[in-house]
């Protein structure tokens, strides 16, 4: 049994915030958990996938976040305790059912984790999810430390059940990916199977019903306004008497504020908000009466700053309220950023900071791995299109092809956008159009776009990069794999059959490591007058190599025949495997630590310079 | 708490995806918990793992954020020379800097025309800030222990050899044994000891 399921009250473990969230939900007597993987929340699902069976919890990687929300909603409306989690943009996908679920309400506690990503460490935008709480009316809480991730998630189920409404838990990357000491609490019993009681005021919000449901939601919100004033994780600390400065803060910023205040010579009183929706405006007004001026410290949008100004105005206070006038509205904060803002709020001059030395360093962006089948597909596509097509792309490792020299990504917006945008390109231009989508993203939300392309007679080539896994977020299963989130055998949907079923006439499946055949397939596909689909199928290199190494199987080794190398660098310019590099004599060489022996570079070199030398168990 | 809470000790780790940087911050964190110390650690997941830069931090003591402010690292444990230089912002004269000498040249040098500076220049620049800079050929020592993959544990041993952490050696070793694969414990013990000795010898 996994340690995280231990019954020992008081046991202390070093846990990642994401794992602490799992523990909190389990302690609350969770029945069902659903997700679609997305960083910074990915590890929550990975951990559930390991422990769900032992914990007696049902867990699934749903096809997408909307489905995840709906599966959990069905269970929560029936009376089970449900957890749904995803990254911030996942809530965009799930927003439709979520907003109305706040009208219908829930019977069992339904907690939704939404993981924001200030600084966009692994995201396409840094939208601030707190506005979803305002939009929907759902309460939203914000933990700071791993211990709070556990305790606040556990408590959120009670709040949800008390108000009969879903509760949002907002995290940021520096909460999800922070590890710390977590002390375990007691375990509540799970409900198991429940009986769905048909209700007189059915949760079916057709206009007649929703007219009654909106006032109900507003009543719940009013009750939540009482709860937030007394919420135990909203705290005030600092010196007695009137403080020179009051800081209102929440989430990861609280840590920076606390440490900055400790080092600065000012009298600072700190109000940390635990429930950010609804905001405790009465408590905030009282707090402001004990300080001379206020600084609101929050990453991203001036959400709390707006509420602070509302609270001050409603209480007839006229003190200075600072926030985004002194702090950035983009990216993450640091203690230094917060320190400088406090100094400025106090009317002083912050110290000048500079790097200890200046040196030009080579960039080290993430890149497609050595042996990655996507790189081989991109190479074939570049050759077949003479590098002149428009490339729509999508979310997954393969978006790394944006970088030179591959440059096979011209536009992507969100999960599944590659197919609709390809159709738009084909209507707007006479250029060849090639779209790329991963296998998991195809199932997630590209299918309606393929149907659209068939029915509306769009003309482009669509490539499904089928590496048999959800690679980018850590190799989760998807509907095309034969395992599910519980680790059980599951029916694997055949992508080729799916697209044929959608009405696509031109479909070919290729092995991207057969470079010549892949180039020819691209040429044929580009000549087709309609949507042509290429399924480029080969397992993710990380998985394939791990399997081989696990079995003690040999990996082939390759070398460059120095005398034959023409130093043309075509392999670097067109293929750019990270295992290839230029040796001191100007010829290309292979880094044998990085090389996994896929052999594609040997097919890329037009002079036969790269040869297989044998197999090596490395 | 079984041990006296120290002032905050800040450890910055920097390296490249695939080097096992996060495993080391995890081991240090676990050892701190075993020793009854408060600890916060942070890491960057996701795209960083595809051969990109990997950073993690461990902060021990009365801390409220896992992030290390400019110049406040007590230790910079750098698994690669360029990544040591890139992390220089957290280094000041109080910082012990331990650098693995083996360069991993990023693809941007071959295909974007970026320059990889001479390793000696980078070490010299860091020595200009702190007198406590130690360079180790961790990969060579790991090979000596039986597998170059154990380079990360050599670095952990080197960190312990400098004696900056408020955690006893046997507790760190116990934490390490829990986190590495069972069949690799002996090999990693060797790697740890080699790193430990190396950092002790070259102290000063």
**Domain containing residue A119: CATH number:** 3.40.50.970
Residues A407 and A475 in one domain: yes
Question: Does the residue A60 lie in any domain?
Answer: yes
Residue A212 and residue A106 share a domain: yes
Among the partner residues A122, A363, A397, nearest to B106 by beta-carbon distance? A363
The answer to whether residue A318 sits within a structural domain is yes
Asked if A581's CB is within 8 angstroms of B105's CB, the reply is yes
In angstroms, the CA B178 to CA B88 distance is 32
Q: Report how far residue A466's alpha carbon sits from residue A439's, in angstroms, rounded to the nearest whole number.
A: 5
Is the whole-model pTM more than 0.90?
Answer: yes
Query: What's the confidence (pLDDT) of residue B202?
Result: 61
Residue B99 distance to chain A (closest CA, Å): 16
For A113-167, write each residue's pLDDT tens digit: 999 999 999 999 999 999 999 999 999 999 999 999 999 999 999 999 999 999 9
Q: Does B166 touch chain A (CB under 8 A)?
A: no
Which of A229, A249, A275 is the C-terminal boundary of a domain? A229
Helix axes A17-27, A146-163, angle to 10 degrees: 40
B 77-136 residues with CB < 8 A to A: 82-83, 85-86, 88-89, 91-92, 105-112, 114-117, 121-122, 125, 128-129
- Residue, of A119 and A617, whose pLDDT is higher: A119
The domain that contains A592 carries what CATH number? 3.30.70.20
- φ, ψ at B198 (rounded to 5°): -60, -45
Contact between A156 and A109 under an 8 Å Cβ cutoff? The reply is yes
What's the Cα-to-Cα distance from A530 to each of A416, A435, A454, A502, rounded to whole Å? Answer: 19, 13, 8, 14
Q: Which of residues 111-130 of A touch B (CB under 8 A)?
A: 121-122
On whether the CB atoms of residues A329 and A300 are closer than 8 A, the answer is yes
Any domain includes A527: yes
Q: How far apart (Å, rounded) are the C-alpha atoms in residues B149 and A13?
A: 27
Tokens of A144: 């700071």
> Quick one: pLDDT at residue A206?
87
Distance CA A179, CA B40 (A): 6
What is the domain count for chain A?
A: 4
Cα–Cα distance for residue pair B137/B168, rounded to 1 Å = 24
Same domain, residue pair A397 and A511: yes
Q: What is the mean pLDDT of residues A41-51?
A: 97
In this predicted structure, what is the pLDDT of residue B50?
Answer: 76
How far is Cα A440 from Cα A395, in angstroms, rounded to an integer?
Answer: 10
- Record: contact B51-A582, CB cut-off 8 A: no
The pLDDT value recorded for residue A424 is 98
Q: SS3 letters for A350-367?
A: CCCCCCCCCCCCCCCCCC
Residue A354 lies in a domain: no
Average pLDDT over residues A538-558: 91
Q: With bands split at pLDDT 50, 70 and 90, how would you rate the model's confidence at A554?
A: confident
For residue B25, which phi and psi values (nearest 5 degrees)? Answer: -65, -30
**For the complex shown, is ipTM > 0.90?**
yes
Half-sphere exposure of A104 (CA within 13 A, CB side): 22
Is the per-residue pLDDT at B204 higher than 50?
Answer: no
- Residue A506 is predicted with a pLDDT of 98
Within a domain: residue A362? Answer: no
In this predicted model, what pLDDT tens digit does every residue of B90-113 receive, in sequence order?
Answer: 999 999 999 999 999 898 988 888
- Residues B89-126 as b or e (16 or more Cβ within 10 Å = b): bbbeeebbbbbbbbbbbbbbbbbeebebbebeebbebb
Q: How far apart are CA A384 and CA A292, in angstroms?
A: 68
Residues 6+ apart with CB under 8 A from A594: A370, A578, A579
Model confidence at A317: pLDDT above 90: yes
Compute the radius of gyration of chain A from its Cα atoms.
27
- Whether A174 and A60 map to the same domain: the answer is yes
Confidence of residue A204 (pLDDT cuts 50, 70, 90): confident
A39 SS3 class: coil
A416/A446 Cα distance (integer angstroms): 4
Strands A243-249 and A268-272, bridge-based pairing: parallel
More confident residue, A582 or B81: B81
> CA-nearest residue of chain A to B40?
A180
Point out the domain boundary residue: A229, A252, A271: A229
CA A469, CA A473: separation in Å to the nearest integer? 10
Q: Whole-angstrom Cα distance, residue A540 to residue A554?
A: 18
Structural domain contains residue A414: yes
Is A583 inside a domain boundary? yes
Distance from CA of B34 to the nearest CA of A (A): 9
Provide the pLDDT confidence category of residue B5 given band limits of 50, 70 and 90.
very low
- Chain B residue with the nearest C-alpha to that of A583: B110
**Nearest CB to A364: which of B40, B53, B70?**
B53
Do residues A165 and A290 share a domain?
no
For residue A612, is pLDDT > 50? Answer: yes
If you average pLDDT over every residue of chain A, what do you get?
96
Same domain, A131 and A244: no
- pLDDT at residue A355, rounded to an integer: 82
Instruction: Give residue A618's pLDDT.
Output: 47
For residues A76 and A105, membership in a common domain is answered with: yes
Residue B198 scores a pLDDT above 60: yes
Q: pLDDT: is A57 or A201 the higher one?
A: A57
User: Average of pLDDT values for A309-324?
Assistant: 98
For the record, the structure tokens of A439 come out as 């296998």
Q: What percent of chain A has pLDDT over 70?
A: 99
Q: Which helix (H) or strand (E) holds A557?
A: strand A555-560
The full DSSP string for B108-129 is: HHHHS------HHHHHHHHHTT
Q: Which of A546, A573, A606 is the last residue of a domain?
A: A546
Residue B48 has pLDDT above 80, yes or no: no
Q: Of A117, A179, A297, A560, which to mutate for an interface test with B (greatest number of B Cβ within 10 Å)?
A: A179
Could you tell me if A402 and A542 lie in one domain? yes
Query: Which among B32, B85, B107 is the nearest to A578, CB-wise?
Result: B107
Establish if B39 touches chain A: CB-CB under 8 angstroms: yes
Q: Compute the mean pLDDT over every residue in chain B, rounded to the nearest whole number.
A: 92
pLDDT at A594 exceeding the cut of 80: yes
Share of chain B above pLDDT 70, in %: 93
Please, are residues A381 and A523 in contact by the beta-carbon 8 Å criterion? Answer: no
Is the CB of A361 less than 8 angstroms away from the CB of B85? yes
- Lookup: tokens for A330: 């983009």
Of A221-230, A404-413, A584-593, B129-138, least confident by mean pLDDT is A584-593
Within this chain, do residues A81 and A183 fall inside the same structural domain, yes or no?
Answer: yes
- Residue A59: name the closest of A78, A40, A37 by CA: A37
- Whether the Cβ atoms of residue A82 and residue A31 lie closer than 8 Å to each other: yes
Report residue B91 CA to chain centroid gap.
14
Domain span at residue A162 reads 3-229
pLDDT at B2 over 60: no
Cβ count near A164 (within 10 Å): 17
Pick the CATH number of B9-104+117-138+164-180 from 3.40.225.10, 3.60.70.12, 1.10.3720.10, 3.40.920.10: 3.40.920.10
pLDDT tens, position by position, B50-75: 789 999 999 999 999 999 999 999 99
**pLDDT interval class at A356 (50, 70, 90):** confident
| Pure H helices in A347-455 | 373-385, 417-428, 439-441, 447-455
């Amino acid at each position: 049994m996994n340690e995280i399921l231990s019954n020992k009250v008081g046991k202390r473990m070093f846990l990642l915030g994401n794992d602490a969230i799992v523990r909190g939900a389990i302690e609350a007597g969770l029945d069902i958990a659903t997700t679609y993987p997305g960083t910074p929340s990915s590890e929550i699902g990975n951990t559930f996938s390991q422990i769900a069976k032992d914990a007696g919890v049902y867990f699934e990687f749903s096809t997408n976040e909307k489905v995840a929300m709906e599966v959990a909603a069905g269970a929560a409306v029936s009376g089970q305790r449900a957890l749904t989690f995803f990254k911030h943009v996942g809530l965009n996908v799930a927003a439709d059912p979520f907003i109305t679920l706040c009208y219908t309400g829930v019977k069992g506690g339904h907690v939704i984790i939404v993981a924001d990503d200030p600084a966009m460490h692994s995201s396409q935008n840094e939208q601030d999810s707190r506005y979803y709480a305002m939009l929907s009316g759902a309460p939203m809480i914000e933990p700071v430390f791993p211990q709070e991730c556990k305790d606040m998630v556990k408590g959120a189920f009670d709040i949800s059940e008390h108000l009969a409404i879903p509760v949002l838990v907002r995290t940021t990357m520096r909460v999800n990916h922070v590890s710390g000491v977590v002390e375990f609490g007691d375990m509540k019993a799970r409900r198991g199977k429940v009986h769905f009681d048909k209700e007189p005021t059915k949760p079916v919000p057709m206009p007649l019903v929703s007219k009654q449901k909106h006032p109900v939601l507003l009543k719940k919100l009013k009750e939540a306004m009482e709860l937030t004033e007394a919420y135990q994780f909203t705290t005030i600390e600092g010196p007695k008497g009137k403080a020179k400065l009051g800081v209102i803060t929440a989430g990861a910023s609280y840590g920076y504020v606390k440490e900055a205040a400790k080092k600065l010579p000012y009298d600072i009183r700190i109000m940390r908000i635990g429930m950010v929706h609804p905001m405790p405006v009465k408590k905030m007004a009282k707090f402001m009466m004990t300080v001379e001026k206020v600084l609101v410290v929050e990453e991203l949008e001036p959400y709390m700053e707006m509420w602070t100004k509302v609270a001050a105005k409603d209480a007839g206070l006229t003190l200075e309220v600072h926030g985004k006038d002194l702090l950035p509205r983009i990216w993450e904060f640091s203690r230094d950023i917060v320190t400088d803002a406090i100094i400025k709020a106090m009317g002083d001059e912050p110290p000048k900071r500079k790097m200890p030395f200046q040196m030009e360093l080579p960039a080290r962006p993430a890149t497609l791995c050595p042996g990655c089948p996507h790189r081989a597909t991109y190479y074939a596509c570049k050759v077949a299109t003479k590098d002149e097509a428009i490339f729509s792309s999508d979310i997954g490792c393969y978006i790394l092809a944006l970088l030179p020299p591959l440059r096979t990504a011209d536009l992507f917006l969100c999960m599944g956008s590659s197919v609709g945008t390809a159709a738009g390109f084909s209507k707007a231009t006479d250029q060849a159009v090639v779209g790329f989508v991963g296998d998991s993203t195809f199932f997630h939300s590209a299918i309606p776009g393929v149907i659209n392309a068939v029915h509306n007679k769009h003309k482009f080539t669509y490539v499904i990069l089928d590496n048999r896994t959800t690679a980018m977020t850590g190799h989760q299963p998807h509907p095309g794999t034969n395992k599910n989130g519980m680790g059980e055998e599951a029916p694997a949907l055949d992508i080729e059959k799916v697209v044929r079923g959608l009405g696509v006439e031109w479909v070919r499946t290729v092995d991207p490591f057969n470079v010549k055949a892949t180039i020819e397939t691209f040429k044929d596909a580009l000549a087709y007058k309609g949507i042509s689909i290429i399924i480029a199928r080969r397992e993710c290199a990380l998985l394939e190599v791990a399997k081989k190494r696990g079995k003690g199987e040999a990996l082939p080794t390759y070398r460059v025949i120095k005398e034959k190398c023409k130093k043309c660098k075509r392999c670097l310019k067109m293929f750019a495997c990270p295992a290839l590099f230029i040796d001191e004599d100007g010829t290309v060489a292979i880094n044998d630590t990085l090389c996994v022996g896929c052999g594609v570079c040997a097919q890329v070199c037009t002079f036969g310079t790269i040869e297989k030398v044998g197999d090596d168990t490395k | 708490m079984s041990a006296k809470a120290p002032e905050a000790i800040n450890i910055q780790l920097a390296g490249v995806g695939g080097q096992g940087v996060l495993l080391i911050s995890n081991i240090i964190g676990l050892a701190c918990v075993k020793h009854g110390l408060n600890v916060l650690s942070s890491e960057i997941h996701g795209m960083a793992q595809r051969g990109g830069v990997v950073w993690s931090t461990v902060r021990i003591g009365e801390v409220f954020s896992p992030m290390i402010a400019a110049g406040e690292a007590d230790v910079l444990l750098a698994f690669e020379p360029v990544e040591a230089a890139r992390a220089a912002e957290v280094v000041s004269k109080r910082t012990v800097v331990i650098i693995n000498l083996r360069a991993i040249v990023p693809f941007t040098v071959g295909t974007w025309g970026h320059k990889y500076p001479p390793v000696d220049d980078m070490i010299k620049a860091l020595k200009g800030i702190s007198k406590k800079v130690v360079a180790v050929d961790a990969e060579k020592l790991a090979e000596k222990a039986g597998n170059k993959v154990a380079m990360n544990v050599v670095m952990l041993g080197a960190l312990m050899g400098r004696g900056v952490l408020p955690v006893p050696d046997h507790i760190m070793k116990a934490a390490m044994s829990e986190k590495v694969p069972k069949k690799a414990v002996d090999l990693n013990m060797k790697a740890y000891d080699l790193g430990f000795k190396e950092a002790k010898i070259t102290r000063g």
